[in-house]
Amino acid sequence: MKKVFIVTDSTADLPKELCDVYNITVVPLKVVFNGFGPLLDGVDIDSEQFYHRLVEKRELSVTSQPTPAEFAATYQRLHAKGGSIISIHISSAMSGTCQSARMGKDMVPDADIEVIDSRSVSMGLGQLVLAVACAACAGRSKQELLEIVQRLIPKMNVFFFVDSLDYLARGGRIGKAQAFLGTILNIKPLLFLKDGIVHPYEKIRGRTKAMNRLIQVVGEKTGGKPIKCSLVHSNDPEGIKQLRQKIMAKLNCDEPIISTLGAVVGTHSGPGTLGVTFYIHDE
């Protein structure tokens, strides 16, 4: 059976150790600060460096997708090893990364490549990629892996709250949540992804109430069923610790993956974001 290589992009926010263990290839997006750069997400700049510049130095960044040539170079390198490639990426409603990947695929016509729009981002994408990579390491066929992808995409949930909608609005990723713009001070917008677009869920006053409501919503969506979940944060180690404790106490969840939002996703979410990505584990 031919080997299947799994490729994603840096907006998956997968911890590096998991990428190493499960042989996941990550193509980085880029960030630019005040016209200087670009810096490769997770390569030239890590999360700690990014949030130092964003929070402490008050520098603002913009982001850009990988070029088709960068994807083609990755695909060519893997193709030379023999086997197929499944390349899974950030929602096409949020980024042109998927389109770049498809153009990169066309530049390597001899390779067997499937490019997939995850309709998600951060660990919503990351959990999907991880599930497929685990199955690939177990020797599952390309067709079996594609079936896993298509089964999990509609099951993946992403719920999160942000300190401010300003970052999403400035980067053009606010989606339907623009209805929450202009809300009063100390309102924490609870948001979710639907079809790869940010949607508003409800407005909550105060960070503690927002965290508790986030957990309650996940509980309502899962109905006590076992879930696979990940917890994400942007520059809030204490908040993610509290969120993990409450999740483990109240939900039927395996030990969650903890992920820090990288420079690209952090550019659009801003500091102080907390979220849960999950799907019901019914197999």
Angle at CA 99, nearest 5°, toward 93 and 102? Answer: 140
Report the chain's mean pLDDT, rounded to a whole number.
Answer: 92
Q: Is the pLDDT of residue 164 over 90?
A: no
Where do the H-state alpha helices sit in the chain?
Answer: 16-21, 47-51, 68-79, 97-106, 123-137, 142-152, 166-170, 207-222, 237-250, 263-269
Q: For residues 252 and 114, state if they share a domain.
A: no
62 — phi, psi (to 5°)? Answer: -125, 165
Q: For residues 208 and 226, state if they share a domain.
A: yes
Q: For residues 175 and 145, state if they share a domain.
A: no
Q: For residues 16 and 135, state if they share a domain.
A: yes
**17: Cα within 13 Å, side-chain hemisphere:** 3
Residue 218: CATH number of its domain? 3.30.1180.10
3-state secondary structure 258-275: EEECCHHHHHHHCCCCEE
Could you say which of 95, 121, 153 is where a domain stops? 153
Q: Report residue 161 as tokens.
A: 């709250």
How far separated are the first and last CA of the chain, in Å rounded? 24
- Structure confidence at residue 206 (pLDDT): 87
In a domain, 47, yes or no: no
Q: For residues 82 and 193, state if they share a domain.
A: no
When pLDDT is averaged across residues 126-148 and rounded to a whole number, the result is: 97
Task: Tell me the pLDDT band of 83, cut-offs 50, 70 and 90.
Answer: very high
Task: Tell me the pLDDT band of 163, cut-offs 50, 70 and 90.
Answer: confident
Proportion of the chain above pLDDT 90, given as a percent: 78
**Residue range(s) defining the domain that contains residue 267:** 156-280
Q: For residues 165 and 266, state if they share a domain.
A: yes
When pLDDT is averaged across residues 252-259 and rounded to a whole number, the result is: 94
pLDDT for 169-221, tens place per residue?
Answer: 666 665 655 555 555 566 788 999 999 998 989 988 888 999 999 999 999 99
Q: Report residue 214 as tokens.
A: 């986030």
